[in-house]
Protein backbone atom coordinates (compact mmCIF):
# COMPACT_ATOMS: atom_id res chain seq x y z
CA UNK A 1 0.00 0.00 0.00
CA UNK A 2 2.81 2.41 0.88
CA UNK A 3 4.40 1.87 -2.53
CA UNK A 4 1.16 2.75 -4.36
CA UNK A 5 0.59 5.82 -2.16
CA UNK A 6 4.12 7.03 -2.91
CA UNK A 7 3.48 6.70 -6.64
CA UNK A 8 0.24 8.64 -6.33
CA UNK A 9 2.01 11.47 -4.48
CA UNK A 10 4.61 11.64 -7.24
CA UNK A 11 2.04 12.47 -9.92
CA UNK A 12 1.63 16.13 -8.93
CA UNK A 13 0.39 18.42 -6.18
CA UNK A 14 -3.21 18.01 -7.33
CA UNK A 15 -3.30 14.26 -6.82
CA UNK A 16 -5.74 14.74 -3.92
CA UNK A 17 -8.31 15.56 -6.61
CA UNK A 18 -7.74 12.22 -8.27
CA UNK A 19 -11.18 10.63 -7.84
CA UNK A 20 -10.16 6.98 -8.15
CA UNK A 21 -10.52 4.87 -5.06
CA UNK A 22 -9.14 1.39 -4.40
CA UNK A 23 -11.62 -0.76 -2.53
CA UNK A 24 -9.43 -2.98 -0.35
CA UNK A 25 -5.96 -4.35 0.18
CA UNK A 26 -6.62 -7.42 -1.99
CA UNK A 27 -7.16 -5.10 -4.96
CA UNK A 28 -3.91 -3.29 -4.13
CA UNK A 29 -2.00 -6.52 -4.67
CA UNK A 30 -3.32 -6.74 -8.21
CA UNK A 31 -2.73 -3.14 -9.19
CA UNK A 32 0.82 -2.55 -8.00
CA UNK A 33 2.30 -4.40 -10.98
CA UNK A 34 0.00 -2.67 -13.47
CA UNK A 35 -0.54 0.89 -12.24
CA UNK A 36 2.87 2.41 -12.80
CA UNK A 37 3.25 6.18 -12.62
CA UNK A 38 2.54 6.61 -16.34
CA UNK A 39 -0.69 4.60 -16.13
CA UNK A 40 -1.75 6.48 -13.00
CA UNK A 41 -1.30 9.75 -14.90
CA UNK A 42 -3.46 8.39 -17.70
CA UNK A 43 -6.19 7.34 -15.25
CA UNK A 44 -5.90 10.71 -13.52
CA UNK A 45 -6.47 12.46 -16.85
CA UNK A 46 -9.55 10.33 -17.60
CA UNK A 47 -10.90 10.95 -14.10
CA UNK A 48 -10.47 14.72 -14.51
CA UNK A 49 -12.31 14.49 -17.84
CA UNK A 50 -15.25 12.90 -16.01
CA UNK A 51 -14.97 9.42 -17.45
CA UNK A 52 -14.06 7.72 -14.14
CA UNK A 53 -15.58 8.42 -10.74
CA UNK A 54 -14.38 5.41 -8.77
CA UNK A 55 -12.32 2.30 -9.38
CA UNK A 56 -13.63 -0.97 -7.99
CA UNK A 57 -12.39 -4.53 -7.99
CA UNK A 58 -10.58 -6.70 -10.50
CA UNK A 59 -12.70 -8.38 -13.18
CA UNK A 60 -9.89 -10.37 -14.77
CA UNK A 61 -6.12 -10.54 -15.00
CA UNK A 62 -4.05 -11.66 -17.95
CA UNK A 63 -0.56 -11.64 -19.39
CA UNK A 64 -1.23 -8.54 -21.46
CA UNK A 65 -3.84 -6.63 -19.47
CA UNK A 66 -6.00 -6.39 -16.38
CA UNK A 67 -9.66 -5.38 -16.42
CA UNK A 68 -11.26 -3.48 -13.55
CA UNK A 69 -14.80 -2.65 -12.60
CA UNK A 70 -15.43 1.07 -12.18
CA UNK A 71 -18.10 3.73 -12.07
CA UNK A 72 -18.28 6.66 -14.45
CA UNK A 73 -20.93 8.91 -15.91
CA UNK A 74 -23.51 7.36 -13.56
CA UNK A 75 -23.02 3.83 -14.87
CA UNK A 76 -20.87 0.78 -14.36
CA UNK A 77 -17.90 0.63 -16.71
CA UNK A 78 -14.92 -1.64 -17.35
CA UNK A 79 -11.36 -0.32 -17.49
CA UNK A 80 -8.84 -2.35 -19.46
CA UNK A 81 -5.21 -1.54 -18.66
CA UNK A 82 -2.56 -2.94 -20.97
CA UNK A 83 0.81 -3.52 -19.38
CA UNK A 84 3.56 -1.60 -21.13
CA UNK A 85 6.46 -3.36 -19.44
CA UNK A 86 5.34 -6.99 -19.80
CA UNK A 87 3.09 -7.11 -22.86
CA UNK A 88 4.21 -9.45 -25.64
CA UNK A 89 4.74 -6.67 -28.14
CA UNK A 90 6.21 -9.02 -30.76
CA UNK A 91 2.97 -11.00 -30.84
CA UNK A 92 1.00 -7.75 -30.93
CA UNK A 93 3.12 -6.52 -33.80
CA UNK A 94 2.23 -9.59 -35.91
CA UNK A 95 -1.44 -8.59 -35.76
CA UNK A 96 -0.67 -4.95 -36.53
CA UNK A 97 1.48 -5.69 -39.58
CA UNK A 98 -0.75 -5.79 -42.64
CA UNK A 99 -3.45 -3.64 -41.05
CA UNK A 100 -3.50 -0.42 -43.09
CA UNK A 101 -4.95 1.46 -40.12
CA UNK A 102 -1.68 1.05 -38.22
CA UNK A 103 0.98 0.89 -40.92
CA UNK A 104 2.96 3.83 -39.47
CA UNK A 105 3.31 2.53 -35.93
CA UNK A 106 6.87 2.68 -34.63
CA UNK A 107 8.44 -0.67 -33.78
CA UNK A 108 8.98 -0.04 -30.10
CA UNK A 109 7.05 -1.36 -27.13
CA UNK A 110 5.16 1.72 -25.96
CA UNK A 111 4.00 2.71 -29.45
CA UNK A 112 2.81 -0.84 -30.16
CA UNK A 113 0.86 -1.08 -26.89
CA UNK A 114 -0.74 2.32 -27.54
CA UNK A 115 -1.67 1.25 -31.08
CA UNK A 116 -3.08 -2.02 -29.75
CA UNK A 117 -5.32 -0.14 -27.31
CA UNK A 118 -6.51 2.16 -30.09
CA UNK A 119 -7.02 -0.88 -32.34
CA UNK A 120 -9.27 -2.59 -29.81
CA UNK A 121 -11.42 0.52 -29.50
CA UNK A 122 -11.77 0.78 -33.27
CA UNK A 123 -12.55 -2.93 -33.62
CA UNK A 124 -15.19 -2.77 -30.91
CA UNK A 125 -16.78 0.25 -32.58
CA UNK A 126 -16.79 -1.53 -35.91
CA UNK A 127 -18.30 -4.69 -34.43
CA UNK A 128 -20.91 -2.70 -32.51
CA UNK A 129 -21.92 -0.82 -35.66
CA UNK A 130 -22.25 -4.15 -37.52
CA UNK A 131 -24.79 -5.42 -35.00
CA UNK A 132 -22.49 -7.70 -33.01
CA UNK A 133 -23.01 -7.69 -29.24
CA UNK A 134 -19.73 -6.46 -27.78
CA UNK A 135 -18.86 -4.15 -24.88
CA UNK A 136 -19.63 -0.69 -26.18
CA UNK A 137 -16.33 1.23 -26.24
CA UNK A 138 -16.21 4.74 -24.79
CA UNK A 139 -12.70 6.17 -24.92
CA UNK A 140 -9.04 5.16 -25.01
CA UNK A 141 -5.91 6.94 -23.94
CA UNK A 142 -2.38 5.55 -24.12
CA UNK A 143 -2.65 2.02 -22.64
CA UNK A 144 -6.11 2.40 -21.07
CA UNK A 145 -9.47 1.52 -22.65
CA UNK A 146 -12.85 2.36 -21.10
CA UNK A 147 -15.88 0.37 -22.19
CA UNK A 148 -19.27 -0.96 -21.15
CA UNK A 149 -19.30 -3.30 -18.16
CA UNK A 150 -20.96 -6.59 -19.10
CA UNK A 151 -22.72 -7.78 -15.96
CA UNK A 152 -24.73 -6.28 -13.15
CA UNK A 153 -24.14 -4.91 -9.66
CA UNK A 154 -20.35 -5.26 -9.96
CA UNK A 155 -20.63 -8.95 -10.90
CA UNK A 156 -19.21 -9.65 -14.36
CA UNK A 157 -21.02 -11.92 -16.80
CA UNK A 158 -19.38 -15.37 -17.00
CA UNK A 159 -17.33 -16.69 -19.88
CA UNK A 160 -19.23 -19.04 -22.18
CA UNK A 161 -17.09 -21.96 -20.99
CA UNK A 162 -18.35 -21.44 -17.43
CA UNK A 163 -22.06 -21.63 -18.26
CA UNK A 164 -24.21 -24.76 -18.12
CA UNK A 165 -26.30 -24.81 -21.28
CA UNK A 166 -29.37 -26.85 -22.09
CA UNK A 167 -29.42 -28.35 -25.61
CA UNK A 168 -31.80 -25.58 -26.71
CA UNK A 169 -29.64 -22.85 -25.16
CA UNK A 170 -26.54 -24.34 -26.76
CA UNK A 171 -28.17 -24.37 -30.19
CA UNK A 172 -29.35 -20.76 -29.84
CA UNK A 173 -25.92 -19.61 -28.58
CA UNK A 174 -24.28 -21.40 -31.50
CA UNK A 175 -26.59 -19.78 -34.06
CA UNK A 176 -25.96 -16.36 -32.55
CA UNK A 177 -22.20 -16.94 -32.55
CA UNK A 178 -22.16 -17.94 -36.23
CA UNK A 179 -24.30 -14.93 -37.10
CA UNK A 180 -21.90 -12.64 -35.27
CA UNK A 181 -18.90 -14.14 -37.08
CA UNK A 182 -20.79 -13.61 -40.36
CA UNK A 183 -21.63 -10.00 -39.49
CA UNK A 184 -17.99 -9.31 -38.62
CA UNK A 185 -16.80 -10.86 -41.87
CA UNK A 186 -19.17 -8.76 -43.96
CA UNK A 187 -18.06 -5.70 -42.01
CA UNK A 188 -14.47 -6.47 -43.09
CA UNK A 189 -13.36 -7.83 -39.71
CA UNK A 190 -12.21 -11.14 -38.24
CA UNK A 191 -12.13 -11.67 -34.49
CA UNK A 192 -8.92 -13.75 -34.81
CA UNK A 193 -9.00 -15.24 -31.29
CA UNK A 194 -12.57 -16.48 -30.92
CA UNK A 195 -13.24 -19.24 -28.41
CA UNK A 196 -15.33 -19.99 -25.35
CA UNK A 197 -12.78 -17.91 -23.39
CA UNK A 198 -13.52 -14.75 -25.39
CA UNK A 199 -17.31 -14.95 -25.32
CA UNK A 200 -19.49 -14.00 -22.36
CA UNK A 201 -23.05 -15.01 -21.57
CA UNK A 202 -24.97 -11.97 -20.36
CA UNK A 203 -28.17 -13.72 -19.33
CA UNK A 204 -29.07 -15.58 -22.52
CA UNK A 205 -27.10 -13.22 -24.73
CA UNK A 206 -23.73 -14.03 -26.32
CA UNK A 207 -21.17 -11.21 -26.10
CA UNK A 208 -17.86 -11.16 -28.01
CA UNK A 209 -14.93 -9.68 -26.07
CA UNK A 210 -11.15 -9.16 -26.40
CA UNK A 211 -10.93 -7.73 -29.89
CA UNK A 212 -7.51 -6.11 -29.78
CA UNK A 213 -6.10 -8.74 -32.11
CA UNK A 214 -9.02 -8.57 -34.57
CA UNK A 215 -7.94 -7.84 -38.13
CA UNK A 216 -9.44 -6.49 -41.32
CA UNK A 217 -9.77 -8.80 -44.31
CA UNK A 218 -6.75 -7.28 -46.04
CA UNK A 219 -4.48 -8.63 -43.31
CA UNK A 220 -2.35 -11.38 -44.90
CA UNK A 221 -3.51 -13.95 -42.31
CA UNK A 222 -7.16 -12.90 -42.12
CA UNK A 223 -8.62 -16.05 -43.69
CA UNK A 224 -6.36 -18.29 -41.63
CA UNK A 225 -7.59 -16.53 -38.48
CA UNK A 226 -11.22 -16.81 -39.65
CA UNK A 227 -10.92 -20.56 -40.23
CA UNK A 228 -9.34 -20.94 -36.79
CA UNK A 229 -12.22 -19.02 -35.21
CA UNK A 230 -14.75 -21.22 -36.98
CA UNK A 231 -12.90 -24.37 -35.92
CA UNK A 232 -12.84 -23.25 -32.28
CA UNK A 233 -16.55 -22.42 -32.31
CA UNK A 234 -17.47 -25.71 -33.97
CA UNK A 235 -15.33 -27.73 -31.56
CA UNK A 236 -16.84 -26.09 -28.49
CA UNK A 237 -20.48 -26.40 -29.51
CA UNK A 238 -20.04 -29.99 -30.64
CA UNK A 239 -19.01 -30.76 -27.06
CA UNK A 240 -22.28 -29.14 -25.98
CA UNK A 241 -24.24 -31.54 -28.18
CA UNK A 242 -24.90 -29.28 -31.16
CA UNK A 243 -24.76 -31.29 -34.39
CA UNK A 244 -22.81 -29.18 -36.83
CA UNK A 245 -20.37 -29.54 -39.71
CA UNK A 246 -17.50 -27.12 -39.96
CA UNK A 247 -17.95 -26.73 -43.73
CA UNK A 248 -21.57 -25.67 -43.19
CA UNK A 249 -20.40 -23.00 -40.75
CA UNK A 250 -17.88 -21.71 -43.29
CA UNK A 251 -20.59 -21.50 -45.93
CA UNK A 252 -22.93 -19.67 -43.54
CA UNK A 253 -20.21 -17.11 -42.68
CA UNK A 254 -18.98 -16.47 -46.20
CA UNK A 255 -22.43 -16.40 -47.81
CA UNK A 256 -24.49 -13.27 -48.25
Catalytic residue set = 193, 210
For 39, other C-beta atoms within 10 Å of its C-beta total: 19
Quick check: 127 and 184 in contact, CB under 8 A?
A: yes
- Which residues contact residue 192 at a Cβ distance below 8 angstroms, ignoring those fewer than 6 apart? 95, 213, 214, 215, 222, 225, 226, 228, 229
For 36, the 3-state DSSP assignment is: coil
Please tell me the distance from the alpha carbon of residue 30 to that of residue 170, in angstroms, as a whole number. 35
Please tell me the distance from the alpha carbon of residue 210 to that of residue 219, in angstroms, as a whole number. 18
For 51, the 3-state DSSP assignment is: coil
Amino acid sequence: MAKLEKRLREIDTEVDRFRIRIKDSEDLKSVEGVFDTFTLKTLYHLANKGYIDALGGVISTGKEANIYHAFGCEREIAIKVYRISTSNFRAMQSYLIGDPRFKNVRHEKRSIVFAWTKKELRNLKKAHAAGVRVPEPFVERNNVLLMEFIGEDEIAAPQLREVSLTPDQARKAFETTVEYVRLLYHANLVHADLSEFNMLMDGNEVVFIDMGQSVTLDHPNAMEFLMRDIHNVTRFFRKKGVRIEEDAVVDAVLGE
